[in-house]
């Protein structure tokens, strides 16, 4: 009888444990992966083992659109994603990543912090609860030849990620030669000459060895990179309410680890690439103004088509307020 009672209690405990399957495209041992594993350990400790977070790194659970779909149908409960993927849920998150808008690390952190409540509200209305947001660096240009002016870049065939038709059209109207490809196809495209420039973070250019073919980096902070971890609202509501604030605080700590690790990785990547032949070209004030004018003239139609105008107006308001307080110019 005693053995039967013990077995029954064990089965009950096991049945009440909640498993959160969390997908990520980040490879193992990157800052994202390490922070997620730390978060999983924190949640297990905080919940006394009642919550188990299983990490599926390196795209095992699919690409980011796949993970969103799987969260909707319950195959995944959570995912770590970059900002661009959020547009399929709410077309406003990318307002903060409009090229040449946010200019410094400090400004990016400030604006993202101030926009977080708004973004969280919009995403929760659509069935997702953001657990954390993290700035993770900047997109810069890597090219076959030095890029000192916009015309220099116009002479290249530029990879712009999996850009939408509207984004491609804006690049083309500005006189550039954009090419949209999945990241898995970039190396082959560089080797074949299909592209000869990429818009990428330094750590991306280093980890994929692209810099061997495009050995000139223009040190222009073109677009800020940031990401987030989301959980489905359905899964979040299954977690006991008294645990949620503590779990959210642990996620905030993990976000700091992600951000610090990502910036350190970018710095290390530049150092390593320079040692292997990368040439870094300073972005002059004239180049920054040239690209600012290009974005203002040709990318404005994306507001409304690709980006929620309410979110964009709010970001502009936050940027202007930050600078009025003495922030970056």
pLDDT at 270 over 90: yes
pLDDT of residue 287: 97
pLDDT of residue 16: 60
Mean pLDDT of all residues in 301-324: 93
pLDDT of residue 65: 86
Q: What burial class does residue 9 get, using C-beta atoms within 10 Å of its C-beta: 0-12 exposed, 13-18 middle, 19+ buried?
A: exposed
pLDDT at 94 over 80: yes
pLDDT per position as a tens digit, 232-262: 999 999 999 999 999 999 999 999 999 999 9
pLDDT per position as a tens digit, 124-146: 999 999 999 999 999 999 999 99
- Distance of alpha carbon 113 from alpha carbon 104, whole angstroms: 14
Q: Which residues of 234-256 are buried (b: 16+ CB within 10 A; e: fewer)?
A: ebbeebeeebeeebeebbeebbe
Mean pLDDT of all residues in 94-123: 94
pTM, to two decimals: 0.86
DSSP states of 230-281: EEEHHHHHHS-TTTHHHHHHHHHHHHHHHHHHHHHHHHHHHHHHHHTT-EEE
- Distance of alpha carbon 166 from alpha carbon 86, whole angstroms: 17
pLDDT per position as a tens digit, 1-53: 444 444 444 444 444 679 999 999 888 888 888 999 999 999 999 999 999 99
Q: Give the H/E segment covering residue 168.
A: helix 165-173
What region does 63 belong to: left with phi over 0, alpha with psi -120 to 50, or beta? beta
Lowest mean pLDDT among 19-23, 63-67, 71-75: 63-67
Q: Is-contact 112 106, C-beta < 8 A? A: no
Name the percent of the chain lying above pLDDT 90: 78
Q: Is the dihedral of CA 125, 126, 128, 130 positive or negative?
A: negative
pLDDT of residue 74: 94
| Residue 160, token pair as written in the block | 């712009």
pLDDT of residue 28: 83
């Amino acid at each position: 009888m005693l053995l039967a009672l013990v077995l029954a209690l064990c089965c009950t405990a096991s049945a009440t444990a909640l498993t959160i399957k969390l997908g990520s495209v980040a490879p193992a041992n990157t800052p994202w992966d390490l922070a997620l594993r730390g978060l999983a350990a924190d949640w297990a400790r905080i919940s006394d083992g009642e919550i188990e977070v299983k990490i599926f790194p390196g795209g095992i659970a699919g690409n980011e659109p796949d993970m969103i779909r799987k969260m909707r149908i319950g195959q995944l409960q959570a995912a770590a994603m970059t900002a661009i993927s959020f547009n399929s849920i709410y077309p406003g998150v990318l307002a903060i990543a409009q090229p040449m808008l946010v200019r410094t690390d400090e400004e990016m952190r400030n604006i993202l912090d101030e926009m977080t409540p708004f973004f969280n509200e919009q995403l929760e209305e659509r069935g997702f609860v953001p657990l954390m947001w993290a700035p993770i660096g900047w997109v810069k240009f890597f090219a076959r030849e030095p890029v000192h002016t916009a015309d220099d870049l116009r002479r290249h065939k530029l990879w712009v990620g999996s850009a939408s038709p509207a984004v491609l059209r804006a690049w083309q109207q500005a006189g550039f030669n954009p090419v949209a490809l999945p990241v898995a196809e970039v190396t082959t495209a560089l080797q074949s000459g299909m592209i000869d420039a990429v818009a990428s973070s330094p750590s991306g250019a280093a980890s994929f060895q692209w810099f061997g073919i495009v050995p000139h980096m223009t040190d222009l902070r073109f677009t800020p990179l940031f990401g987030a971890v989301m959980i489905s609202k359905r899964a979040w509501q299954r977690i006991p309410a008294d645990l949620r604030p503590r779990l959210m605080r642990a996620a905030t700590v993990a976000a700091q680890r992600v951000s610090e690790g990502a910036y350190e990785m970018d710095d290390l990547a530049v150092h390593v690439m320079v040692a292997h032949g990368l040439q870094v070209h300073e972005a002059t004030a004239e180049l920054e103004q040239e690209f600012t004018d290009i974005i203002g003239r040709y990318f404005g139609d994306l507001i409304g088509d690709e980006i929620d105008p309410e979110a964009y107006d709010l970001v502009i308001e936050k940027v202007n307020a930050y600078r009025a307080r003495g922030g970056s110019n």
